[in-house]
Amino acid sequence: MNTVAREHRTPAGPTSAEAARLLAEYGPNEVAAQPCVPLWARVAAQLRDPLITVLLAAVVLTLAIGDRPDAVVIALVVVVNTTVGVVQEVRAEESVAALSALSTPRARVMRDGGPREVPSAAVVPHDVLVLGEGDVVAADAGLTESAGLLVDESALTGESVPVDKAVSAADPDGRTVRSGTVVLRGRALAVVTATGADSALGRIAALMRPRPDPTPLQRRLADLGRVLAVVALSLCAAVFVLGLLQGQPAGRMGVTAISLAVAAVPESLPAVVTMALALGARHMASRHALVRRLPAVETLGSVTVLATDKTGTLTEGRMVVERLWTPGCTASVDGHGYDPSGRLLVDGSPPGPAEAEELRALLTATALCNDAALRPPTEAGGPWTALGDPTEAALLAAAAKAGLDPVDLGAAFPRITELPFDSVRKRMTTVHRTAGGGTLVCLKGAPEAVLTAAVLDETEEVLERARAASTRLAAEGFRVLAAARGTRHGFPAPAADAEHGLRLLGLAALADPPKSAASAVLADCVRAGIRPVLITGDHPATARALAVRVGLLEPDARSADVVRGADLGSGTVTDLTRPTVFARTDPGQKLEIVQAWRDRGAVTAMTGDGVNDGPALRRADIGVAMGRRGTEVARQAADLVLTDDSLATVVGAVEEGRRVYDNIRRFLLYGLAGGAAEILVMLAGPLFGLALPLRAGQILWINLLTHGLTGVAMGAEPVSPGAMSRPPRPPEQHVLGSGLWQRVLLLGTVVTAVSLGAALWARSDGRPWQSILFTALLAAQLGVVLGLRERLLTRANPFLPAAVLASAGLAAAALYLPFLRSVLETEPLSWGDLVGPVLAGLAGFVAARTQRAVARPRWTARASGRTPARPAERPVKRAGGTSLRPRAGTGMEPPPDDDAG
């Protein structure tokens, strides 16, 4: 245990010897790191894939029959698949480790009677932390001294507004600082009470466990692998018995049966999957999304619920002044972040002279009563940053938008003294010298601490108007500050007397505004059939206001429409999948919400950046962390790290995931149809007098050419134009579901018919029918692969037509190279003999295009609204934006007809 009872100790802190003893007793102050996965374990995890297991069995079988070349080819597929998967995992972890370097590794403590800097891991209970502006708190600690201490706890709680801490605070939490939080202003001494796993950060990290559940793609392919294994064994036995009944030698039929079994399994599927996932990961990296686990690429395409954090994910993560109220007017303030460029508008127009004077007076006072500073971008196009309290920095940016220069104001009104903000007074006052020798008093603070007769010399009517405006702005989710000023002929003594008899200047309403693309991103999710859910630790009013602004709630939404963490704790909310907005949630409750959706069969994605998001990121099917703003705990818990912290990148990743899944299904349609055709040819051929339609070597050569180069090239096909206009497939749907297996049989039947037709024509005309059958079967499958392309003449994937040409060239080599002719037992074909294979290739192409033309309108109609698709969310047009109204019920929807092929 690393926890001790809180007790006061002298500022001298422990001696070095005591610290060493405590370190040995309590252990290092660090959250247990994820254990390093050895290389052999990574390789074993890749080899446990069911289809890889089938391929390994095929290697054993081919070696048993002496077919070493084919065994080498199949083994090479296994090696490539395993290597790519392992390399991708290692590279992703190295990239995350580079992000981890952003963490603060050291802390200032009192040791041996004086301050000393030590590694954060060496901080022990009873250490005295020396905290100042910008410091990351190294451990949980109780304050013993404090002055104007303001702490950002958003990483732990999700609260966007910094929290005041003081030794005199009535709430015990106000006298405590916690591990992982950041000091924005002030200074303090604090005695460490908990380190390592017993700190607030450690307790949250302990909620995270390695995710044992396979991804949707892994589950689907595992089901397919089991089905194909059974089919392969059954066909192997059936063909072997059938051959024996026809009087064929047992040895020849054994080889043929095993060859057919190999043909029944699309052995390049793992390579296709791996290539598709690797390309998807590379595309995502170019779009600022770092994939930590390769299967996560496809998982994004299956997401049905997007649970998103608020601060830094939907919002900018920076406080901004958006409204100003004075007794004479109400103004809006535009602009982004701490950038001082922007305008003040009254009813959409620049303020008049009297209004401008009131607004400038308000912003002058808030700029003078201010300890923050703004820093310009360090590089062209970069953001302005704040030094100090984000709220005060936002007030400086607003003053700059009114044409006020804080530096010039400070020179014109030099500060004489101040009364710093504290949690009891809830206000800050500064006193400045004026040019005439008098003094100017500037005050800002919480409305309830300022809008009183004890502070302001105003009529009750003015005070009531200001209180009503403050209440209205607070209900809209703003943080409201009131400002006042007064003049004195001399310096007031004592300084506290300055906080009386002041004139009200107005109110400033601040918020952490939504990112400019937030509403559009959520609307894109809705169009894709993904249910957005907001889960935050912030105040319910703030959460409600943001949800309205981004379209998650209607404009007339009440606070009751937002479910609070207390409601979850009391058990009053029985169905956690119905609400759209959750506020004041703790890490455990985020876990409960994500798990509730998973229990209903949803594929969940969770976005976040704080330590408090880590457990939910781990529990979700796909965890998405912010790379810039995100904490180390969040990044380590996530499957996907957004290096640009943009939620729009998630939508791009979803599109990439759907591309991957479409290509996998397209390959399955092609590969299984070809495999079915080869089997049907072998089973039906004898019925038409073709005793042994194909030799074992010919079957394996066809399989190599069709499932090899062309199959792998299919994994690079570009995204379908309608990929984001259809809902995701249900998690329980089989990889061959939504009519794909029927299409496999139909295409397989067409390829079988045209191939046998070519062979029967050749036999009746005295031509080398077996070689023509061999060529026609291969040509028909190459025609199918071209016909299945989403965009026939696209240049996005030149590898596929190149692979088809290469396969055609290798097919010709099997007919005309003496060495291959002897191995495969083929005969050279004349120009007249090639008529049948060419027609078979055209027939395969036409059949594939016809299937697309028939299947496409059904899901396209749903996507365009001609046929109700019952999406999880239904966009509702309203003034000022689009509301993402949830459909009553589960929020899940039936799949559209397949687009793959």
Per run of 10 residues, the mean pLDDT along the chain (length 901 residues) is 42 82 85 69 74 68 66 66 67 51 64 82 89 82 86 72 82 86 83 85 63 62 73 74 77 66 64 72 82 77 88 83 94 88 90 93 95 85 82 93 91 89 82 87 93 92 95 89 88 70 95 87 89 88 88 76 84 87 85 90 85 77 81 74 83 85 86 85 82 76 79 82 80 75 90 94 92 94 92 84 92 90 86 93 93 62 38 38 40 43 49
Residue 860, pLDDT score: 46
DSSP string for 554-576: -TT--GGGSEEHHHHHHT----T
Positions of E strands within 138-284: 140-152, 163-165, 176-177, 182-194
The Cα–Cα gap between 222 and 213 comes to 13
Distance CA 248, CA 215 (A): 46
In 3D, which of 643, 807, 619, 789 has the Cα closest to residue 716?
789
- Residue 386 is predicted with a pLDDT of 84
Query: Which helix (DSSP H) or strand (DSSP E) does residue 465 occupy?
Result: helix 460-475
Question: Which of 271, 301, 279 lies closest to 51 in space, CA to CA?
Answer: 271
Alpha helices in 557-631 (DSSP H): 565-570, 587-599, 614-619
CA 721 to chain centre: 22
pTM of structure: 0.68
Phi, psi of 132 (to 5 degrees): -140, 180
The confidence score (pLDDT) of residue 888 equals 35
- pLDDT of the residue at 607: 87
- Which of 325, 312, 275 is closest to 297 using CA atoms? 275
In degrees and rounded to multiples of 5, residue 699 shows phi and psi of: -60, -45
State the Cα–Cα distance between residues 146 and 423, nearest whole angstrom: 12
Q: Which residue has the tokens 């303030």?
A: 333
DSSP state for residue 894 in the 8-state scheme: P
User: Within 10 A of 129 (CB to CB), how many other CB atoms are there?
Assistant: 25
Q: What is the DSSP letter of 725?
A: G
Q: What does the pLDDT read at residue 333?
A: 93
Here the tokens at position 22 are: 């405590």
pLDDT score of 104: 42
d(CA 550, CA 323): 18
Residues 392, 372 contacting (CB under 8 angstroms):
yes
Catalytic residue set: 309
Looking up tokens 């993560």 gives 317
Comparing C-alpha atoms, which of 509, 510, 504 is closest to residue 452?
504
Q: How many CB atoms lie within 10 A of CB 215?
A: 23
Instruction: Enumerate domains of the chain plus CATH numbers.
Output: 16-33+106-205 (2.70.150.10), 305-315+516-645 (3.40.50.1000), 320-511 (3.40.1110.10), 665-876 (1.20.1110.10)
- Give the pLDDT of residue 489: 77
Let me know: does 216 contact 224? Beta carbons within 8 Å: no
